[in-house]
Structure 1
Amino acid sequence: MERTGVEARFVDLAVVSADGAEGGAAEAVVGALGLHDAGPLKGGGGRMRPDPVDRLVAALAEREALLVLDNCEHVVAETAQLVQRLLGACRRVRVLATSREALGITGESLWPLAPLAVPAGGEAGGPQGSAPGAVTAAEALGFAAVRLFVDRAAAVRPGFALGDAQAGSVLRVCAALDGLPLALELAAARLRSLPLAEVEARLGDRFRLLGRGERTAAPRHRTLRAVVEWSWDLLDKEEQALARRLTMFVGGAPLAAVEEVCACDELDDPLEAAVGLVDKSLVEVDEAGRYRMLETVREFCAERLAESGEEARLRAAHAEWFLRLAAEAEPCLRRSEQLQWLRRLDAEHLNLLAALRRSVTTVPERGLRLVALLSGYWLLRGLRGQAAPLAAELLRSTGRRVPDGLDDEYVLCVLNARAEGPGRSEQQEWWRRAQSIMAERTAPPRYPYLSFLWATAAGPTDASLARPEAHIGTDPWSQALLRMGKGYLALFGGDAGEAVEREFDAALRGFRDLGDRLGSAETLDAAATLASRRGHHARSLELWEEGIAAAGELGAVAAVVNMRCNRGYGLLRAGDLGAARADFTWAESTARRDGLREELGSARCGLGDVTRLESDLTTARRLYESALHGAEAELVFGQATRVRALVGLGRVAEAEGDAEGALARHREALDVSLSGGDLGEAACAVEGLAGAALLAGDGERAGLLLGLGQAVRGGEPAREQDAVRTAAGVRDLIGARRFEQALRRGASMTAQAALAELGTVGRPAR
């Protein structure tokens, strides 16, 4: 779906840790753009997550976008590098950054933000040199600072209006606060409980302290500190206690968490104190009932917390509360209430990461439990890359000894740390330790998602997977996953028989009964692919439609893109080029927008097939080569995409009469597909070899190769238009009887015998 106009995205960097523990500024931009990881059940534990900066470049390369990066000062060097990379690679992207310090990169235009307009000379004079007390309301409203103050005052004290009698006092307040918006809003909020004259008097008393402040600090910082400190002094003891304790939370918190984490002897009623903080504009509460502090207020109150000596106790209380929340959510993510719980965990994601970060060095055992409980959430939401750095740090903190009773938690931590990418020798050590744990286990894991993550990371040949009783639980979700896995492995191995269909049917019933939308969506996608390969096109479209709807309900964009691509290939088998083009075009646009490189390659291969079948060989070649170029650039594409691109280029060469070039491309495609064990894709490469043989005039070998392709595919005849056309050409060349003989000779072999035969038949004739 193409976007029009300039797309603007706001990115709050205030919540980014200065040490980059959550992945830093780039991860924050990835999150703001909604660029989650690839399809949860598709990527799994075995897929390395791309570098977030590379992901942003891929997503923004062709978009016209404005990125607003707010509060950069604590990560200014990292932000500068990120902005420089984005602007250099994405010509239509512009960045607006707010910071106390310039980024210091080429092309930067500085726009200092002055305070809102106030009378020249501060308290000494008013407009046109008149005394502040003599100005009219109309004259005072000529200043932006006054208009903001009056607007906020009316919001907290209904009926407040600026008259001539109040104009002088308001001007003096605005001048004393230097026209700073936050200071004006806090002062106006005092009108809820204090008369204007009292507000003016208290401001005057407070600012006499500024001269004794830190001389090296920026004036704006000193002024803000003074205003917040003045507001702090107006709080009672219970409100102050709650205000400093609220700084434990990142991005706000629900009332239940506030009441439990912040409670103690000197705070009898956290709710009453919270209401007081809201009334005094130090805390905001949204429609969902989450309490949140303005960042400047939070920074000041955090200093008060550090002085109180309560910080260690509150960190533990915060982490324990969110550990219990994660434990409550974990089983619900596999049931019908998963949408509700995903939204709840979305709201608390920053708090969950904070709890994990605080546990890394203090209580690593708690950190391991948090990682294990959140693995399903990160998988469903495509957020494993954000958690990977913390998981890796936790493993370093844990050391060489796996804590007693936490074997499953340790393995899940290793699996999440792998999303950070290869390159560290310690990753190999962690992986060997996890392999040892899985090889020695005698009972199913306590966390069902471990079964899936381990299977996709270790691969189908892992010895531990030969013992289902030791790695798959007996609960309904795990059993549905087991049936889906069996079906996938059979389909991947070239089996398209009814037994595979029964596996998918059983898995789908299990996921539907539980209400797991993603499990249902992934099973529907596989079942639709199977139906399409068997020629049941109407049924396949029904299954894809249902699967796409289920994944869309979850917001799993990558899964939807993947299914739209798969449906596009199914439509090609059915001969509906127009509908296939629509699916591939949507998938290509969405994958390009979200930086989904593998899905982008698959969509471009599909578009290449459509344009090639429409005889536009130039466009088709460009699309196929684009997919291959992307694979070679930085990331490893899925082997299926690479095979499709190579087969497509082989078909282009065939259409141009280049038999030798076609043979080379198809042979390379076959080698790639066999290296990954994907016999379904290998069959397409074998049928490509048949097309090259036909072009070379060897009808016997072409017929045999078509039969071998059928054998590799598990006995199902080829339904792709290219293979059907090749079969017709062979029949015309050597006659129907000889063609059928050659075809039967190849099709009668087992898949393994066919692959052995391909070792000689698929090579160029000498």
Structure 2
Amino acid sequence: MHYALLGPLDVRDDDGAPVAVGGPRPRTLLALLLLDAGHVVPTERLLDGLYGDHPPEGAANALQSQVSRLRRRILGAPIEFHPAGYRLAVDPDDVDALRFTRLAADGRRALTAGDHARASALLHEALGLWRGPALADVDASAQAEAHATRLEGARQAAVEDRAEADIALGRAAGLTAELAALTAADPLRERLRALHMRALAAEGRQAEALRVFEETRELLADELGADPSAELTATHTAILRARPVVGGARVGVPAQFTSFVGRRADVAAVEGLLTTSRLVTVTGPGGVGKTRLAVEAARDACFVDLAAVAKPEEVPGAISTALGVRQAGLLGPADPVAQLTAALTGEDVLLILDNCEHVVDAVAHLAHRLLGAAPGLRVLATSREALGITGEALYPLTPLSVDDDAVRLFAARAAAVRAGFTVDETNADDVRRICAALDGLPLAVELAAARLRLLGVTEIADRLGDRFRLLSRGERVAAPRHQTLRAVVEWSWDLLSPAERELLGRLAVFTGAAGVDAVAHLAGLSAGETEELLVDLADKSLVQLADGRARLLETVRAFAAESLHPGEHDRLQRAHAEYFLALAREAEPALLGHGQLDAMAALNAEGGNFHAAVRWAVTADPRLALDLTTTLATYWWLRGDYAEGGPAARDLLRALPEDTEDESFVLCVSSAASIGAASTADLARATGIMAALKEPLKRSFTTVIWAMTTGPDGDNLDAPPADYPFGEDPWSRALAELGHAMVMPYTALPGPADDHLEAALEGFRAVGDRWGCGETLDELGHRAGARGDARRALDLFDEAVRLSEELGTVADSAARRCSRAEVLFVLHGPERADAEFRAALDLARRSGNSAVLAGVHRSRGALAHRSGDPVAAIACYERALDEISAGAFVADLEHGRLLVGLARALGDGGDHERALVRLDEAVEILLNHWFLPALGEAARTWAAINAGTGRWREAAGLLGLGEALAGPMPKGFDDDGDVESAVRGELGEADYAAAHDPMAALSRGEAVAVLRGLR
């Protein structure tokens, strides 16, 4: 879909056909969502835009109805609900207003960097998106008018930027008439006047350009009683002198003693800003490298270090001293500011005002006065907060990339204190760990590198929990605020108000980013008060704000946490844990229904805070920790983070009372089992709880987690399993159908599994659960493949992949893409399959799930084997063995299956001895979990190895044993039919039946006993 706001509201589908939006309210609602596409628009803002200051009663419900109708009118409109509002999940480039804003900003950056050709192209493209006045037919609410005014202002600025770029490219001839018309429409806009003068002068029409200046000067005097701006005056002077406007003398920047690492793009950006703005302020947290950037970007400037200035009134004197301005005599002005003004008038000077934050008000007033009086003056300031002057161009400096420039900086500084040091494969992980823990702050990274005089890289990385003690020795000649990491933060801390310090202390309890509501709850403030303080702290570079959430750098967090009294810290930790438990409980009911994606998004945003809450509660309040882990269990499983709660559950099992005998205990044992940390006694207790169930579980999903972490029960292989008492709600009924189908391969349940799967799919679709639909489709796909119906299998896997990608379950997406690759191999050959495998491998690596990653390599090995290349297959299987690690049932199952595949490849490659060793390892693992399909596969592999060594009768018996364990051999993708044909041909039908049939007639339990005895 394509959305247009720069003119009448217009919506088009991908084929260019118009889409009807509806009346005024739907158009206004869509416009408000589009203007913040990709971000959550608060409900209050939408209500204000739709109804003004006095929304009717029930307006929130009316808004929800409007959103629903908008979704129906624009089919597939991805409007997501969030606790704070609504989000239109579209690509910002599909919205002309946002595309214009991006292109205009990119054009401005190219212009400031001196790339006039690129700037011109971008700005022409941006302005070409306009079809008329912005939001022309959107209801004229105050909010819509404000957006329209902003866009029109941005359009005006883009027109001027485009004109400036074109003049620089020698294209003035086509601009003079346009600029004349624009200045006639807005005669008091001085930048337009200056551009018009420059265009005329570029055409050789200097006299006309000078007349424009005189007309403007008279108009400003008559209309505003004001003189021309510095920019207009400088343009006038440049035309008179027939030279460029920009220029000036620059002296006094201190020499540097170390190499400059990274930041090349930052240097270019600041240099570009200095060509178009007379006041540029580089902002950022302490130690981020503001001073060094300023020095690199303005080598020929006059440098003024304000760090040593103790009082605001000393600022003019410091600047005068740096400029070499002598004190006036008896007849000169007594005012030092007047002295400075007199000295700078008529001069072209670039000043670097370094470290302004502690005298920011004095610097702001002085800079404003000097810039107004001295047209040739430009100022580059560095400060932890902006000066706040109109016309100030801000450049927020962020920390170095922890995977690139920060590592390079560490290596460079480390080599200076330890000769020959380089970052290599033996220490790269620890260096990245150091840089990440220090947020990529250059000063902190340099202080850490300096510790290599005494410590190793691993020691430094391990000791950063006490970073202020560790990084307490800096350069002796550095400013005191830069000699230790503590001093860096203390310098900013001392400039804060008590309320700001208190809020930072509360923010220190959070991990990652925190929403305003959560911060307000812990701070005991209103949302408005909290927002105001957060903005103030962000202005001081101590808080990072994005999408309505606040985040602290880890170093600031550590310092703020130290400011809390021990009792206060514990109280805040408990309040934090209880708040996020309530948040998880509120979202949990929606996780398995139509609100699934919204609930997942809300919980995803708080991942770090959930971890922090659980970690604290495990030791401080095990019951609270148990509530947290069990409430989050479904969410973690849906995300594919199967072992997420494992470490906490392991510790909890040691702390819980021995009489804990409920569903939460089962979930705790399941989580611990996911990392192989549940004891036999704990598993037995949990098994007893599940076997004794008489009433439905509070969470039906518990049965899923229990089954997938512990596997099938080997005690009832020849009897129908005892049904768990599922609830009567639609989701639980669908799960019961799915569970029925999934256990059929392991038990004596009669009937076709597909009937149960189709019923499950229908139930999950009805409630809107993507996880349940995906699991069911995946199982149906495997069954279709086993029947040889590859096209049906591909359709099913396609939908399963789509659903897991919507849900964001990377591990499931990887596994299902593997299954899809196997079908593509059958339908289209190895090339298509390889492309899908590469996608699956990338997803598996991102998931961090060793079983899934091993599964991808196993699947590739199986297809290489089927393609007749056992050597390539063996390489894939051995790579899978390198990835796999022990854990839950699924990991052990994957381990056993890949060992079976490796044994088959080794056997077909002629290495029968190694094949039998690997097969024995596989059977030992699989017998622990009673996974009958894999045990059947192991028996058939054993048959193939025996056939390869001429033991035909044993091979026939093992084929029968495989059938007893897992049913008749699938006729789909497997190739064991060749083994069976070879054995029948060698023995003859009678002898084959004599060896095969008794084994095939065994019950499952008997077959398992025989297999165990054959080892």
TM-score for both structures, normalised by structure 2: 0.50
Could you tell me which residue of structure 1 aligns to residue 739 of structure 2?
485
Matched, 1:185 2:384: yes
Could you tell me which residue of structure 2 aligns to residue 447 of structure 1?
699
Q: Which amino acid aligns with 2:490?
A: R
Q: Is the 8 A contact 1:640 1:681 kept in 2?
A: no
Superimposed CA distance per residue, residues 55-110 of structure 1 (whole angstroms, 9 cap, x where no aligned partner): xxxxxxxxxxxxxxxxxxxxxxxxxxxxxxxxxxxxxxxx99xxxxxxxxxxxxxx
Could you tell me which residue of structure 2 aligns to residue 599 of structure 1?
852
Could you tell me which residue of structure 2 aligns to residue 416 of structure 1?
671
Structure number with the higher helix fraction is 1
> For 1:503, which of 745, 748, 756 is the aligned residue?
756
Superimposed CA distance per residue, residues 570-613 of structure 1 (whole angstroms, 9 cap, x where no aligned partner): 56677955544444444345435655432333333333333334
Could you tell me which residue of structure 1 aligns to residue 808 of structure 2?
555
Secondary structure, counterpart of 1:231 in structure 2: coil
Matched, 1:255 2:516: yes
> For 1:373, which of 625, 631, 634 is the aligned residue?
631
Q: Is the 8 A contact 1:493 1:680 kept in 2?
A: no
Superimposed CA distance per residue, residues 298-349 of structure 1 (whole angstroms, 9 cap, x where no aligned partner): 5666566549x86666555443332221111111111121211111111122
> For 2:532, which of 275, 280, 284 is the aligned residue?
275
> For 2:599, which of 319, 335, 341 is the aligned residue?
341
Could you tell me which residue of structure 2 aligns to residue 353 of structure 1?
611
Distance in 2 (alpha carbons) for counterparts of 1:353 and 1:633: 23
Q: Is the 8 A contact 2:774 2:799 kept in 1?
A: yes
Could you tell me which residue of structure 2 aligns to residue 714 of structure 1?
967
Q: CA deviation at 1:367?
A: 3.0
Q: CA deviation at 1:372?
A: 1.9
CA distance 1:688–1:421, change in 2 (3 Å) = closer
Could you tell me which residue of structure 2 aligns to residue 201 of structure 1?
none
Q: Which amino acid aligns with 1:679?
A: L
Q: Which amino acid aligns with 1:413?
A: C
Runs of 5+ unmatched residues, structure 1 = 1-94, 97-110, 175-180, 195-214
Distance in 2 (alpha carbons) for counterparts of 1:444 and 1:643: 34
The count of corresponding residues between Structure 1 and Structure 2 is: 602
Secondary structure, counterpart of 2:582 in structure 1: helix
Q: Is the 8 A contact 1:481 1:507 kept in 2?
A: yes
Secondary structure, counterpart of 1:518 in structure 2: helix
**Superposed, which structure 2 residues align to 1:369-448 within 5 Å?**
369-383=627-641, 385-400=643-658, 402=660, 407-419=662-674, 421-422=676-677, 434=686, 437-438=689-690, 441-448=693-700
Q: CA deviation at 1:557?
A: 1.6
Q: CA deviation at 1:416?
A: 3.1
Distance in 2 (alpha carbons) for counterparts of 1:604 and 1:632: 14
> For 2:794, which of 531, 541, 545 is the aligned residue?
541
Distance in 2 (alpha carbons) for counterparts of 1:760 and 1:324: 50
Secondary structure, counterpart of 2:806 in structure 1: helix
Q: Which amino acid aligns with 1:485?
A: G
Could you tell me which residue of structure 1 aligns to residue 548 of structure 2?
289
Q: CA deviation at 1:748?
A: 6.1
Q: CA deviation at 1:664?
A: 6.4
Could you tell me which residue of structure 1 aligns to residue 324 of structure 2?
131
Matched, 1:461 2:713: yes
Distance in 2 (alpha carbons) for counterparts of 1:617 and 1:112: 55
**Superposed, which structure 2 residues align to 1:194-343 within 5 Å?**
218=483, 221-222=486-487, 224-232=489-497, 244-263=505-524, 269-272=526-529, 274-279=531-536, 281=539, 286=545, 288-293=547-552, 306=565, 314-343=572-601
Q: Is the 8 A contact 1:385 1:420 kept in 2?
A: yes
Superimposed CA distance per residue, residues 421-475 of structure 1 (whole angstroms, 9 cap, x where no aligned partner): 53x9xx56655654565565543332333222233344432899965455x4343
Q: Which amino acid aligns with 1:256?
A: D
Distance in 1 (alpha carbons) for counterparts of 2:974 and 2:647: 47
Q: Which amino acid aligns with 1:484?
A: L
Q: CA deviation at 1:419?
A: 4.5
Q: Which amino acid aligns with 1:271?
A: G
Distance in 2 (alpha carbons) for counterparts of 1:522 and 1:357: 31
Q: Is the 8 A contact 1:643 1:670 kept in 2?
A: no
Q: Is the 8 A contact 2:960 2:997 kept in 1?
A: yes
Q: Is the 8 A contact 1:565 1:584 kept in 2?
A: yes
RMSD over aligned CA atoms reads 5.1
Superimposed CA distance per residue, residues 135-190 of structure 1 (whole angstroms, 9 cap, x where no aligned partner): 7996444677689x99xx99x9999995676999979xx6xxxxxx6xx122x356
Could you tell me which residue of structure 2 aligns to residue 639 of structure 1?
893
Superimposed CA distance per residue, residues 624-676 of structure 1 (whole angstroms, 9 cap, x where no aligned partner): 333345558999953345344444443443354x6676666666655654453
Distance in 1 (alpha carbons) for counterparts of 2:973 and 2:355: 70
Q: Is the 8 A contact 1:710 1:718 kept in 2?
A: no
Distance in 2 (alpha carbons) for counterparts of 1:756 and 1:248: 54
Q: CA deviation at 1:409?
A: 3.1
Distance in 1 (alpha carbons) for counterparts of 2:694 and 2:366: 68
CA distance 1:144–1:474, change in 2 (3 Å) = same
Secondary structure, counterpart of 1:691 in structure 2: helix
**Superposed, which structure 2 residues align to 1:577-726 within 5 Å?**
577-592=830-845, 594-628=847-881, 630=883, 637-656=891-910, 673-697=926-950, 702=955, 705-720=958-973, 722-726=975-979
CA distance 1:482–1:626, change in 2 (3 Å) = same
Q: Which amino acid aligns with 2:807?
A: L
Distance in 2 (alpha carbons) for counterparts of 1:428 and 1:407: 18
Q: CA deviation at 1:547?
A: 1.1
Q: CA deviation at 1:512?
A: 1.8
Q: Which moved more, 1:321-330 or 1:633-642?
A: 633-642
> For 1:527, which of 771, 780, 785 is the aligned residue?
780
CA distance 1:505–1:312, change in 2 (3 Å) = same
Distance in 2 (alpha carbons) for counterparts of 1:757 and 1:393: 37
> Which structure ranks higher in relative contact order (CA pairs < 8 Å, sequence separation ≥ 6)?
1
Distance in 2 (alpha carbons) for counterparts of 1:460 and 1:249: 40
Q: Which amino acid aligns with 2:800?
A: G
Distance in 2 (alpha carbons) for counterparts of 1:389 and 1:702: 45
Q: Is the 8 A contact 1:127 1:139 kept in 2?
A: no
Q: CA deviation at 1:488?
A: 1.8
Secondary structure, counterpart of 1:715 in structure 2: coil
CA distance 1:357–1:725, change in 2 (3 Å) = closer
Q: Which moved more, 1:700-709 or 1:518-527?
A: 700-709
Q: Which moved more, 1:479-488 or 1:589-598?
A: 589-598
Secondary structure, counterpart of 2:494 in structure 1: helix
Percent identity between the aligned chains?
A: 30
Distance in 1 (alpha carbons) for counterparts of 2:917 and 2:562: 68
Q: Which amino acid aligns with 2:1001?
A: M
Q: Which moved more, 1:336-345 or 1:721-730?
A: 721-730
Distance in 2 (alpha carbons) for counterparts of 1:603 and 1:468: 33
Distance in 2 (alpha carbons) for counterparts of 1:301 and 1:756: 61
Q: Is the 8 A contact 2:886 2:892 kept in 1?
A: no
Q: Which amino acid aligns with 2:516?
A: L
Q: Is the 8 A contact 1:711 1:746 kept in 2?
A: no
Q: Which amino acid aligns with 1:381?
A: R
CA distance 1:462–1:253, change in 2 (3 Å) = farther
Bigger-Rg structure (1/2):
2
Distance in 2 (alpha carbons) for counterparts of 1:587 and 1:489: 27
Distance in 2 (alpha carbons) for counterparts of 1:617 and 1:460: 32
Q: Which amino acid aligns with 1:225?
A: E
Could you tell me which residue of structure 2 aligns to residue 84 of structure 1?
none
Distance in 2 (alpha carbons) for counterparts of 1:762 and 1:363: 51
CA distance 1:550–1:429, change in 2 (3 Å) = same
Distance in 2 (alpha carbons) for counterparts of 1:513 and 1:357: 37
CA distance 1:362–1:160, change in 2 (3 Å) = farther
